[in-house]
């Protein structure tokens, strides 16, 4: 971090290489005060190893929420990692990418203006109520519409396509 600050270059935060109880989401707004850009290596650390398929989990959602809440998207480059030799690599890529996209969608759907207004005015009751209400927003309907408009399969359709690919393409490689 000191090097990135001194050189005024991008700082890389790797989600898979911090202590399991740490989150890079907690560091984003602080380090952006000192460096011009962030490189995020979003993966899922597994205690002794890292770079496992990104999940639609609290850690990924918190990273995306922090990026959106502090308007850091224009200054951030997000890289995803999908290494997991125990599962189909195409499935890992598709499932992991979708997990990151869904996490970002969830963050973008938050009522940012109202949250900021409540925060700046010291109305923490309203801020809490808005954050709790946002958890119940029908984000999955927005995701389904996004998939439909982009002519891509939903989650079950994706799995079917991966299984077909394994059967027709990958099996021919052996």
Which tens digit of pLDDT belongs to each residue from 25-44? Answer: 999 999 999 999 999 999 88
Per DSSP, 29 falls in state H
3-state secondary structure of 67: helix
What confidence score (pLDDT) does residue 155 get? 84
> In the prediction, which pLDDT does 87 show?
83
- Ranges of residues in the chain whose predicted pLDDT is under 70: 45-51, 174
What residues have CB less than 8 Å from 172, skipping those under 6 apart? Answer: none
Token digits of residue 13: 């935060």
What fold is seen in the domain 2-173?
TIM Barrel (3.20.20)
pTM of the predicted protein model: 0.89
How does pLDDT run across 79-94, given as a tens digit for each residue?
A: 998 877 788 888 889 9
Domain boundaries, the chain: 2-173
158 φ, ψ (degrees, to nearest 5): -60, -45
Alpha helices in 70-168 (DSSP H): 89-108, 112-120, 124-134, 139-149, 155-165
> d(Cα 149, Cα 59) in Å, to the nearest integer?
28
Between CA 91 and CA 53 the distance in angstroms is: 10
3-class DSSP state of 90: helix
Residue 52: the pLDDT is 81
pLDDT of residue 174: 66
- Cα dihedral 25, 59, 140, 114 in deg (nearest 10): -30
Q: Is residue 50 within 8 Å of residue 26, measured between CB atoms? A: no
CA angle 81, 147, 92 (to 5 degrees): 25
């Amino acid at each position: 971090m000191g090097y990135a600050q001194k050189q005024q270059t991008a700082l890389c935060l790797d989600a898979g290489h911090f202590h399991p109880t740490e989150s890079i989401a907690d560091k984003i707004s602080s380090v952006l005060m000192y460096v011009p850009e962030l490189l995020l290596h979003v993966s899922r650390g597994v205690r002794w190893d890292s770079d496992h398929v990104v999940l639609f989990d609290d850690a990924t959602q918190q990273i995306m929420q922090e990026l959106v809440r502090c308007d850091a998207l224009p200054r951030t480059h997000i890289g995803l990692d999908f290494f997991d030799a125990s599962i189909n690599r195409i499935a890992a890529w598709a499932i992991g990418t979708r997990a990151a996209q869904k996490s970002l969608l969830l963050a973008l759907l938050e009522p940012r203006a109202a949250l900021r207004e409540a925060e700046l005015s010291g109305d923490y009751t309203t801020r809490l109520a808005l954050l709790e209400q946002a958890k119940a927003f029908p984000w999955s309907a927005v995701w389904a519409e996004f998939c439909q408009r982009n002519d891509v399969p939903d989650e079950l359709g994706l799995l079917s396509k991966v299984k077909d690919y394994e059967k027709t393409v990958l099996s021919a490689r052996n």
